[in-house]
Structure 1
Amino acid sequence: MFDALKWIAGAAAAGAMIAAPAWAETRVTYKSAKAGTSYYQMGVQISEAMKAGSGGDIIVTVEEGQGSVQNVMEVRARGGDYVFTTPPSLVGLAQGGKAMFEGKGDPAFDEIRALFPIPSLTMHFVMSEASGVKSFADMEGKTILLGKGSFGAREGEKYLGLFGLEGKVNIADAELSNAVAALKNGQIDGFVTAGSWPAPNVVEAAASTGVTVLSLDDDQVAQTKRTRLVIPAGTYAGQDADIVTTSLPVVAYATTKMDDETAYQLTKTFWENKAKMAESAAWWAGVDEGLMSTITGKIHPGAIRYYKEAGIALTEGQM
């Protein structure tokens, strides 16, 4: 009887050892942007980094998103395995039931917690060298492609108004996907785009036709009420000086439904593998501790544990 009990205990222990890897595996859904965009590609890179950095213990499935607002709205029906990206300002609007969230408030929004920042949406005003445009004032009478319906298009239109150019530039009726070709053949003098930097379409335009990416002065940055961002000299072909522009911070979020250990491991693995991601995609080089200040709401307790271990200062509001 004693031997039988020993055999059962040994078998149970062996079974537990065999089963342990399956128990240790954490599966997460990462919802970002539409397939084909730089932000969807970032999601793929994060997925690969999480798998490699955790030795296969963290499996991230990338899910196509239909926009930042929708990503926030889905919090209402998602569980603890849901990670999504959105600007911090939208989380604040959701929690306050304001703007596009008016009449759509939900207690689930109050449970949103930040994990880590990702590359910011960065404004680029891209003018061809042939246009001779070196400043916003020079844009008068020129033909500009803004695109349609995107953050960059709305922001670009806003800036034209702020800087006294409303009605003084010709707005091309075309999709942003045609911008580089239109610039090459002289159909337009410039285009406006918002995305991570280096922006693939700006890289292509700079290498193929030569461009000037306009800088904003301090007064212009203040007028936009956006976050100041500097694109370092040499980012684009022919760019011999820093570009001062504006950005909209973007952050990866979860909710309090996610357990602290998972949030800790996701955050730790992200930061420890960010440099390696930057080797294959330069936009990750723009993510550093300085972006932590753009997180205006609360951070997940599991992520806070990592930041304390790493000696990264947090504000009282983030705790």
Structure 2
Amino acid sequence: MSNSTQWLRNSLCAATLIGSMLATTAQAEQVSMESASPNSLLGMIPQAMARHWADNDIELQLSLNQTLTKSLLKVAAGKLDLAVAPPLAYNAMTKNAGPYKKMGDKASALAANVRSLFGLPGGTYHAITWADDNIKDWPEAVGKRVYIGPPAGAANTQVIALATKGGLIEGTYDPIKAPWGAATQSFQDGQFDVYVGNTSIGSQSLAELSLSHDIRLLSLADKSQTPDPSLGLQLVVIPPNTYPGQVNKSPVISWQTVMMMVAHKDFSEETAYKLTKTFLENRAIVAKSNSMLSQLSDIDPFAGVNAPLHPGAVRYYQEAGIAIPARLLAQ
């Protein structure tokens, strides 16, 4: 059993036990948080950070497998302390659009309550073809079937933008939509030619896929092909030999989703300060605890973040001498 698999198994504990097992002082403050699935980066990071927050008298009550657009709404309404939130969802809320369209002006009014603490690395887009196919780069997928994510998801916009930046023009290929959970098997069954999966670098599922059949990852031409800031993405490099059956001899340049930790504007300033300080000052330790978390130590704390910073977070960044983008300072 790999170290990553063992680490994940050990992490799948009841969320309410995290705080009770780790908080060691009677004055520990209970903080509720929601995030994604336990074996995703967005689920693994808060689990790994829990003991460090506990050392600073913050008892984390973590609920996983949540729909993050709904978690963001709970924070905005004051019904949840913290949530991992997609920047695109926050942007939609401010515009009364997307999943919040039916709420009308109430959505944008609630968005005004949201404050950010720091950014978090999400999954990396892996554009995969079989090594024995004749698709060696993005332009060669013209006329092919390309998986672009689940129906009506933010991934559609992101994958289309990635393909376009790589030289595959929208309208010149057949975009296929299907649930994430069925995509890998559908690719193996030949239902599309390019599978664009979103997972952590070094994912066990992609390692197993490459063992069944050699794969090639499609790459952007160079590091100048950065994503539009509004997409909630950042540039990332996937090394050669990351997967057993990967045939790429050079580093693969792709994009990684970026999320943000958010709280209500009235959330305790002191607690927001301690959460931010503890996260930034212990992320290198957490990154070394598991290879799948290695990118945690390098991420720009403001990458993808588009909600104004909480005063407690601002206090930490100012004390640490970290320059804050003017766009993130609440008016």
Q: TM-score, normalised by structure 1?
A: 0.76
Contact map agreement 1:289 1:312 (CA 8 A) in 2 = no
For residue 58 of structure 2, what is the aligned residue in structure 1? Answer: 58
The aligned amino acid for 2:75 is: V
Distance 1:110 1:175 in 2: 32
Contact map agreement 1:153 1:192 (CA 8 A) in 2 = no
Contact map agreement 2:88 2:230 (CA 8 A) in 1 = no
Instruction: Kindly provide the CA deviation profile for residues 139-172 of structure 1, in whole angstroms up to 9, marking residues without a partner as x.
Output: 235454445334435543566678236364484x
Q: Out of 146, 151, 166, which is 2:171 matched to? A: 166
Distance 1:207 1:115 in 2: 40
- 1:95 paired with 2:94, answer yes
Instruction: Kindly provide the CA deviation profile for residues 12-34 of structure 1, in whole angstroms up to 9, marking residues without a partner as x.
Output: xxxxxxxx932x2011111122x
Contact map agreement 2:234 2:257 (CA 8 A) in 1 = no
Contact map agreement 2:263 2:310 (CA 8 A) in 1 = yes
For residue 123 of structure 1, what is the aligned residue in structure 2? Answer: 125
Instruction: Kindly provide the CA deviation profile for residues 106-136 of structure 1, in whole angstroms up to 9, marking residues without a partner as x.
Output: 5442121111111134322111112132111
- Relative to structure 1, is the Cα distance of residues 203 and 311 closer, same or farther in structure 2, using a 3 angstrom cutoff? farther
CA drift of 1:214 comes to 0.9
**Aligned residue runs from structure 1 range 65-80, under 5 A:** 66-79=66-79
The aligned amino acid for 2:237 is: I
SS where residue 280 of structure 2 aligns? Answer: helix
Contact map agreement 2:236 2:256 (CA 8 A) in 1 = no
Contact map agreement 2:88 2:154 (CA 8 A) in 1 = no
- Relative to structure 1, is the Cα distance of residues 178 and 90 closer, same or farther in structure 2, using a 3 angstrom cutoff? closer
- Relative to structure 1, is the Cα distance of residues 186 and 105 closer, same or farther in structure 2, using a 3 angstrom cutoff? closer
Distance 1:246 1:280 in 2: 24
For residue 312 of structure 2, what is the aligned residue in structure 1? Answer: 302
CA drift of 1:194 comes to 2.3
For residue 236 of structure 1, what is the aligned residue in structure 2? Answer: 242
Higher mean C-alpha deviation, range 259-268 or range 224-233: 224-233
For residue 134 of structure 2, what is the aligned residue in structure 1? Answer: 132
Distance 1:200 1:152 in 2: 21
- 1:262 paired with 2:268, answer no
For residue 152 of structure 1, what is the aligned residue in structure 2? Answer: 155
CA drift of 1:235 comes to 6.6
SS where residue 84 of structure 2 aligns? Answer: strand
Contact map agreement 2:145 2:173 (CA 8 A) in 1 = no
Distance 1:188 1:289 in 2: 33
CA drift of 1:265 comes to 1.3
For residue 206 of structure 1, what is the aligned residue in structure 2? Answer: 210
Contact map agreement 2:227 2:235 (CA 8 A) in 1 = no
CA drift of 1:311 comes to 2.4
**Structure 1 residues without counterparts, runs of 5 or longer:** 1-19
For residue 251 of structure 1, what is the aligned residue in structure 2? Answer: 260
SS where residue 107 of structure 2 aligns? Answer: coil
**Structure 2 residues without counterparts, runs of 5 or longer:** 1-23
Distance 2:205 2:156 in 1: 15
CA drift of 1:40 comes to 5.3
CA drift of 1:213 comes to 1.3
Contact map agreement 1:75 1:109 (CA 8 A) in 2 = no
The aligned amino acid for 1:72 is: L
The aligned amino acid for 1:211 is: I
Contact map agreement 1:50 1:269 (CA 8 A) in 2 = no
Distance 2:225 2:289 in 1: 33
Corresponding pairs, count? 294
- Relative to structure 1, is the Cα distance of residues 271 and 284 closer, same or farther in structure 2, using a 3 angstrom cutoff? farther
SS where residue 296 of structure 1 aligns? Answer: coil
